[in-house]
Chains A and B, each alone.
Chain A
Amino acid sequence: MSRVKKIALSGVLTALALALSYFERFIPLGLIIPLPGVKLGLANIVTVAALYFFGPLPALAVAALRCALGSFFGGGVSSLLFSASGALLSWAAMSAVSRAKTFSVYGICLFGAAFHNIGQTAAAVLVLGPAVIYYLPYLLAVSLFTGTVTGLISSGVLSRVKRL
């Protein structure tokens, strides 16, 4: 794949990630699971796709751009802190385990979801104080569910697209 095509497709993926994280606001997961900051993590699917097609560094660029633009369009600085810490830790974990042949896209998404919550909790500890750390085990339990869902979607989408 040419460099230009890679950059262009990364831009498309970034736009897709932005759209998904906006769309996600309308899924009221917080009503079923009354925990602060509970999300399905649909935008993570795009990070997984970038990881699958392009590798770790373009995936990082897509995730970072999504957070930056997301906060520019409607979040502000503290939302940037939350989304960036979650997205970056999730990216790091997924990149690390994507090299191990042990895991398929499901395992990668599970790690991604778990570390997304760890990153967000770390940001929440900084902003709100140490009390929020007690939410982490509950958020991790939820991440088993959300990670499986994003794994399912990623598996379905990627095996249909296969190559760009």
Chain B
Amino acid sequence: MSGFGLKFKKGDLWAVLFVMALIAVLFLLFAARGKGGCAVVTLEGQEIARLPLSRDTEFSVSGKYHAVIAVEKGEAFVKDSDCPHGDCVKSGKISKNGQSVVCLPGRMTVTVEGDGVDAVIG
């Protein structure tokens, strides 16, 4: 028996405060980000493409599932995917540094990164 109480205590609010503080710190850390330069696509943890946000394009990913990633008007998004639930498609559009869309079943991520020198080549 560790014998902790089963009724709500005032002390439990410290747990709430702890989690809220953690959220605030993470948001502050991630907030320092501007408009990104390109969308980096990874599959199974490996980078497979860099799509500059300055140019409209579409990119097909054939991993465990088939997905189409699109760049339109400076925003990247998963346009289509045959993964179960399609959460990545519902995630919407991203354009700011560090923003990302993740497809958990497809083991795929799309992340916006700052303008690298190599972004011009794409």
Q: Are B5 and A141 touching (Cβ within 8 A)?
A: no
With A103-B9, A106-B9, A141-B23 given, is the CB distance from A134 to B98 under 8 Å?
A: yes
Determine whether the beta carbon of A98 is less than 8 Å from that of B102. Answer: no
Contact status B5-A105, CB under 8 Å: yes
Select the stretch in A12-20, A51-59, A60-68 that faces chain B: A51-59
B102 to nearest A CB, angstroms?
A: 5
- Tell whether, in the assembled complex, residue B100 and residue A131 are in contact, meaning their CB atoms are under 8 Å apart: yes
Residues A129 and B19 in contact in the complex (CB < 8 Å), given A104-B7, A136-B26: no
B102 close to A128 (CB less than 8 A): yes
Bound CA span A7–B7, Å: 28
B87 adjacent to chain A (CB < 8 Å): yes
CB under 8 Å from chain A, chain B span 1-59: 1-9, 11-12, 14-16, 18-20, 22-23, 26-27, 30, 40, 42, 44-45
Query: Complex formed: what's the CA distance from A126 to B37 in Å?
Result: 25
Q: Is the CB of B12 within 8 A of A103?
A: yes
Most buried by A among B6, B23, B40, B109: B6
Q: How large is the interface on B (under 10, 10 to 19, 20 to 34, 35 or more residues)?
A: 35 or more
Instruction: Identify the A interface with B (CB < 8 A).
Output: 30, 34-37, 51-53, 55-56, 97-99, 101-108, 110-111, 114, 124, 126-129, 131-132, 134-137, 140-141, 143-144, 147, 151, 154-155, 158-159
Nearest CB of chain A from residue B89's CB, rounded to whole Å: 10
| Contact across chains for A103 and B4 when beta carbons are under 8 A apart | yes
B14 surroundings in chain A (CB, below 8 A): 102-103, 107
Interface of B is mostly: mixed
A52 to B105, CA, bound (A): 35
Chain A contact residues: helix, strand, loop or mixed: helix
Which residue of B is nearest A54, CB measured? B1
Chain A residues lying within 8 Å of B120, measured Cβ to Cβ, are none
Q: Which residues of A contact B66 (CB under 8 A)?
A: none
Chain A residues near B62: list those with CB within 8 A.
none
Task: Knowing A51-B2, A103-B11, A128-B107, say if A137 contacts B26 (CB, 8 Å).
Answer: yes
If A98-B4, A104-B8, A110-B12 touch, does A132 touch B23 (CB 8 Å cutoff)?
no
B85 at interface by CB-CB < 8 Å = yes
Residues of B within 8 A of A158 (CB): 6
CA distance A104 to B7 in the complex (A): 6
- The reply to whether A108 and B1 form a contact with Cβ atoms under 8 Å apart is no
Contacts A30-B85, A55-B2, A155-B6 hold; do A114 and B102 have CB atoms under 8 A apart?
Answer: no
What are some 11 contacts across the A-B interface (CB < 8 A)? A52-B1, A53-B1, A106-B15, A107-B12, A110-B12, A110-B16, A110-B19, A124-B102, A128-B107, A131-B42, A158-B6
